[in-house]
Structure 1
Amino acid sequence: MQEHVFTNCRLVLADEVVEGTLVVQDGAIAAIDHGVSSTPGATDLEGDLLIPGLVELHTDNLERHLLPRPKAHWPAIAAVIAHDSQIASSGITTVYDAMAIGDIQSGSMRKKRLEDMTAALREAKEHGVLKAEHILHLRCEVSDPAMQEMLEPLLHSPDLGLLSVMDHTPGQRQFVSEETYRHYYQAKFNLTDNEMNDFIAARREDQKIHSKRNRNFVVEQARQRKVHLASHDDATLDHVEEAVEDGMTIAEFPTTVDAAKASHEAGLAVMMGGPNLVRGGSHSGNVSARELAEHGVLDVISSDYAPASLLHAAMLLADTVEDYDLPRAVATVTKTPAAAAGLTDRGEITIGKKADLVRIWGSALHPIITGVWRDGERVA
């Protein structure tokens, strides 16, 4: 039996913070004791916080490593390993790598990158070189005519853990304002005014033809495979009602207070981006994560495109929002996302759970991670 004792630490449990000792045996939490242990070989954490390993449900950070600059394609295995190292050093021990299934621009390289990323993740797993546990989150762009064709080969992957539906058609959800949509994509794709007008018209036509049947396909596949489902960018009560009918368990990045409140009340875990909290608002002009927290309906934080924002955002919640004490704030990046994705073996410091742990030094400037363990083994 392998045993590891952490002592002289502040343990962040589900509903309280206790000063004491944590005993890990064979990769699982075996005991939680008050006070300092005199066990020979115990690790003295010098009063630092010890929290569960972070659970990240939605990050496209891998794609950024695969394409660090436009046209600068990085070798896929190297990208996966660099991404994994960044994830682990950010305290994330379970990561759902969000892969876009479909795009809003025909002829994009996203399908090729998808094939490269999934194959490289599988190869890295098989060779045992990853520090965090990686699970696939397939984000399905329902307005894309090719979405089903791209999705079907991945539905049989042993790494699949989450499906979500998204629709980036102008005039709704993330882009209620057509002006915001126009500004964002015209700059991104370097389009003239006339080209942008044609682009918007084409996207609306795609939605009319494809969105409903593609959404139904994704929902049915999730039901057949018993895979959890997430909605994306819900803005209205009708969107939330549809999500509830489809059996969603997660509401990713709702864009209005009304949608977030309705999702929370219906039992969906409301997820917002860590960058939204860290920066003080949404980069696309939608509702702020802090506002949802002040309404008491922020359940899960995702690092989205910035892994380091996950812990930072949780600690900001604890420091600045009245109703979020440290255990509740930490739960938004540990216990609640794990439960929303159906992971019952992690996300909480309690006897029997996985010994996925993060040591934090509470610097006055910024929370500093000084140790990360997965299944009791140090990974960062």
Structure 2
Amino acid sequence: MTAPSDALLARMMELHPKVIDLTLDRVCRLLTALDNPQTRLAPVVHIAGTNGKGSTLAMIRAGLEAAGQRVQAYTSPHLARFHERIRLTDGLIAEEALSAVLEDCSRANGATPITYFEITTAAALLAFSRNPADYTLLEVGLGGRLDATNVVDRPALTVITPVSIDHQHYLGTTLAEIAAEKAGILKRGVPCIVAPQADPALDVIEARAARLDAPLMTFGQHWHVGEDRGRLIYQDEHGLLDLPLPRLIGAHQVFNAGTAIAALRRLGFDEPAAEAAMTKADWPARLQRLRHGPLTDSGAEVWLDGGHNPAAGAALAEALTRLPPRPLHLVCGMLNTKDVRGYMRPLAGQAHSLTAVSIPGEAATLPASATAEAARDVGLPATTAPDLLTAVRRIAKDNPGARILICGSLYLAGQVLRENG
């Protein structure tokens, strides 16, 4: 059954001919018409970066909630349904409340051109302004400087997770150019937590922070994190924490965890919040084991991951080494805007095969044949399948005891979560 919000969201897709068109003019105009809800939010933690934004936000949220704080959060894209993007203090936004803020935004905007992300971000900010909370967590959609979330003049804290090459058509072709866009969320005098960065990115972030007199808490300088004997060890000027490893799998999650802990410490929360960030955070489609639904009926071990750029591929390859050994076979679907070979190259040494699929309903999907060709180019035996279920069942039949990983795109991951229960 179609919900009222579905029709409103479909109508919003028609307000601007481009999917992505970075500027703050349109969203600021709409927010003004809505009486500037962004000025009436609970203290904001604004998070930018290429990889790890969602996981870091999830850990910060878990830590704050364990400390008794009421937290609301905005993330994108959604996986199964739009409501996931707007989390209020009592859970995902209800259909009635979502329809109300979408209708208010649609009425205030009229037929004036505005992108889907801009008008739905305005809707999220409007919902947050109507909901009593202690903290608001905002994840940047794309870039930072011109992202629709970058409308809060004075957040409580900003966070920049690792910056790497992605979205070159919009953010720049070099790491320094991309970092400059991410660093656009820095605000004068507002502290910023900086995750591990390559030197060109860190140089840009530090230069902008100096111009804005924004205090930095930077990995390797002001805080340190690592794994030791199956524990996470975090240290900063306030002392050392010996914690469980994060619930989210992979060495990269150790650094995301350190970033979250640094943020919690800066906000005034200590060890109990940090431990909850490790043990209670949940973030779907980040090396997630699927245990129910038609994709698992074959008896195979099936995993799901939504990473889609070279840095995510490298992190995924490392994380897979931490699982008990089993023959690995990939089912992969990607968008034509991504560095497909760069993503696959780290995985080629571990996987026995790749079965390529197209992503249903996505105009920018890479054809399965092109995905398979890219896999072969990096030395990974590849074939194609007409759909996910066929791919998984074929692999399970031909390779009893296999580990099957569905990967390459958050849009593909969303389809899996919608259709696999």
The two structures have a TM-score, normalised by structure 2, of 0.29
Higher strand share: 1
Higher helix share: 2
The two structures have a TM-score, normalised by structure 1, of 0.31
Comparing both chains, which one has the higher relative contact order based on Cα–Cα distances under 8 Å and sequence gaps of 6 or more? 1
